[in-house]
Amino acid sequence: MGRKAEKGATPAVRAAAAAGVGHRLHAYEHADGETDFGAEAVRAMAGLAGARPEQIFKTLLADLDGRLVVAVLPVPWRLDLKALAAAAGGKRATMADPARAERSSGYVVGGISPLGQRTALPTVLDASALEWPTICVSAGRRGLEIELAPADLARVTAAVVAEVGRD
């Protein structure tokens, strides 16, 4: 797995490389007009890396008592907002406005990565990630996934690991 960021790499790939994290990049063709970005990534990664759906993680931003937090959980699962609030030390979480999520992260919806965000935010990684030797998350653009060890993702993002997803 690579550790050096290539020229033209996204901030997510540069962050992984700068932290010395071993990783693999998986690129696929993002279909114009596709709005179910997670399902698209799951289909692509099954073919590219033989990954199971629960091994492909999505990055969601939530508003927790007026501040943004990041949740990283398997694509097929739903975010448990109450569990996220408890894990992040807040009272009430709601999904963040997409425009606010894009401004804060520096990425577009469907390509938001937990790595290399413009503004570092508290991050919660679903505990199911630890069941896998590697997981895939967005590498900072639609059609690009980064595969890495979940412990490395937690370390680089200073994530709290908690059960925040439900299948």
Q: Check residue 1 and give its pLDDT.
A: 53
pLDDT in tens, 13-45: 999 999 999 999 999 999 888 889 999 999 999
DSSP state, 6?
P
Rg (CA), the chain: 14
| Cα gap 68→147, rounded to integer Å | 25
Each as own residue / partner, the long-range contacts of residues 33-36 (CB below 8 Å, 24 or more positions apart, any chain) are 35/110
In a domain, 6, yes or no: no
In a domain, 131, yes or no: yes
* Segment holding 103, helix H or strand E: helix 98-105
Query: Identity (one letter) of the amino acid at 79?
Result: L
**Between residues 3 and 32, which one has the greater pLDDT?**
32
In a domain, 150, yes or no: yes
List residues bridging with 74 in a β-sheet: 57
pTM (two decimals): 0.93
Query: The domain spanning residue 23 has which CATH number?
Result: 3.90.960.10
Q: Check residue 47 and give its pLDDT.
A: 84
Decide if pLDDT at 159 tops 80.
Answer: yes
Q: Check residue 61 and give its pLDDT.
A: 98
In a domain, 25, yes or no: yes
In a domain, 15, yes or no: yes
pLDDT in tens, 108-123: 999 999 999 999 999 9
All residues at 6 or more sequence positions from 16 whose CB lies less than 8 Å from its CB, including other chains? 5, 23, 115, 116, 146, 148, 152, 156
pLDDT in tens, 41-89: 999 998 887 889 999 999 999 999 999 999 999 999 999 999 999 999 9
> What is the pLDDT averaged over residues 82-98?
98
In a domain, 84, yes or no: yes
Residue range of the domain that includes 143: 11-166
List residues bridging with 123 in a β-sheet: 70
Q: How many separate domains does the chain show? A: 1
In a domain, 39, yes or no: yes
In a domain, 112, yes or no: yes
